[in-house]
Chain A
Amino acid sequence: MTFERRRVLLADDDIEMRGVVRHVLETLGLEVREASSGVALLSCLAEESDFDLVVTDVRMPWVSGAQVVEMARAAGFDMPVLIMTAFADEGIRKSVQGIAGAQLLEKPFEMHELAMRTRSILGIEALTDPS
């Protein structure tokens, strides 16, 4: 019997932020694919195997994480999405609320909050505490 690790697509143009988030996700036993821009996020979704979760920043050059998620939903992708932002004004909150299966995670956040949200979304039991 084989066990396939669940795959997470992580998009943020901040390499340090990607490193922190990646560490948390890998501690939860997840396989992480990084995208350094909204364009890369879009390409990964369009060209690679399906992901179990997308974790993305909002503000990125060329195309925002939220817009890519809107495009993915229009194309029929239904994976859960965690949208991170340091600029959570009312417009962004309403925008994320309008995307099925998307949750907002406001920066700055504690690692245990990211872990808790991820476990909740993917139904992972708490075995370790990444913080």
Chain B
Amino acid sequence: MNTLGFLFDDEVGTRIGHYVVEGSLGGGGMGVVYAARDALSGHRVALKVVRADSGAARAARHARLQLLREAWILSRIQHPNVVRLLEVGTAREVVFMAMALVEGTDLFAWLRGAHSWREIVEVFATAGRGLAAVHDVGVVHRDFKPSNVLVGHDGSVCLTDFGLAVPAGEGEAVEGFVIGTRKYMAPEHRDGLRASRLEDQFSFCAALEEGLSAFRSSGGGSGGPPEQLWQALHRGTRIDPKERYTSLRELLDVLTEVLRTGHSTVEEQPRTDSRRMQTGPDPQSESTAVVAPVLRSRG
């Protein structure tokens, strides 16, 4: 560690508490995630720390508190499809959060490979079970997207990155801005309203529809997803939250049924509908978190 308490990618061997950094897994904003080894147990972990290299003490302080908030939210959730929090702590000026390490890739990268529509839906449905468990404890993730789902080499699927998660009914836009990823963001989230589980359903369906876009753009045909699946995604991305499924579990039941009985159909193009958000491929990077002004004033 350098004299300012900052961490850089090339600082393999750096100790943070009782963890020893082995490499960088990525990062964004002021946070960075390292692969590290617990010097006491020998286990490998994912270690998320606040990177304070902007030199602004105030910004670093806020980023550290945001990481502690994320750890607090994650500590409430225990599910095999949600990344497991191992420890949260401080070491000198660094706030860190140790999580179970998923050896593999993220869903964004995984989707670049060649997969059948069934494999894609199965992975999403597994991630969806994690998201439903988040909802069960009253939390809304608010940033479901492929890069926030980890796919292990062993086939495990884990939802991660709870940096924007809040309890349902909380999370009204602060100082006129909302934070999230625009291309998956539900309209009510964009409007700065309080968090609702239904906005996660929107993001989930938008991401799954995008993941299946190659099957849609090919015009369907033999081997493509059935119409029932497009209709389900269609309903989950309705602009009016009341027109979506009442819960993510209800949607997951439909996906399970599609996987069980689904077969190719002649016409697989989802119908266009003016009441529905367009969620096709976007040139903007999937992983880009955007800060957008609230479009509607708060009452």
Residues of A within 8 A of B (CB): 37, 39-40, 42-48, 50, 62-63, 71-72, 74-77
Contacts and interface: CB of A to CB of B under 8 A. Distances in A.
Given A40-B172, A42-B65, A47-B174, 20 more contacts: A37-B170, A39-B170, A39-B171, A42-B72, A43-B171, A43-B174, A44-B174, A46-B65, A46-B66, A48-B174, A48-B175, A62-B167, A71-B65, A71-B72, A75-B61, A75-B62, A75-B65, A76-B61, A76-B93, A77-B65
Interface of A, secondary structure class, is helix
Contacts of B93: 76
10 contacts: A42-B65, A42-B72, A44-B174, A45-B62, A45-B65, A47-B66, A50-B58, A74-B95, A75-B68, A76-B93
B69 A46 contact: yes
A48 to B, nearest CB: 6
A42 B174 CA distance: 12
A99 to B, nearest CB: 15
A83 to B, nearest CB: 18
Contacts of B72: 42, 63, 71
A13 to B, nearest CB: 12
Given A50-B58, A63-B72, A74 B166 contact: no
Contact of A71 (B57, B58, B69): B69
Contacts of B57: 76
A47 B174 CA distance: 7
B64 interface: yes
A39 B167 contact: yes
A77 B167 contact: no
Nearest to A47: B174
Contact of A77 (B61, B90, B170, B171): B61
B60 interface: yes
A43 B68 CA distance: 11
A75 B64 contact: yes
A40 B65 contact: no
Nearest to A62: B167
Contacts of B62: 45-47, 75
A90 to B, nearest CB: 26
Nearest to B174: A47
B83 to A, nearest CB: 20
A77 B62 CA distance: 8
Interface string B45-78: 0000000000001101110111011001000000
Contacts of B60: 76
A62 B64 CA distance: 20
Identify the 8 closest CB pairs spanning chains A and B, nearest first.
A75-B64, A75-B65, A46-B65, A76-B61, A39-B170, A71-B68, A46-B66, A47-B174
A75 B72 CA distance: 13
Contacts of B95: 74-75
A47 B58 CA distance: 11
Contacts of A72: 65
Contacts of A47: 62, 66, 174-175
A62 B138 CA distance: 10
A43 B61 contact: no
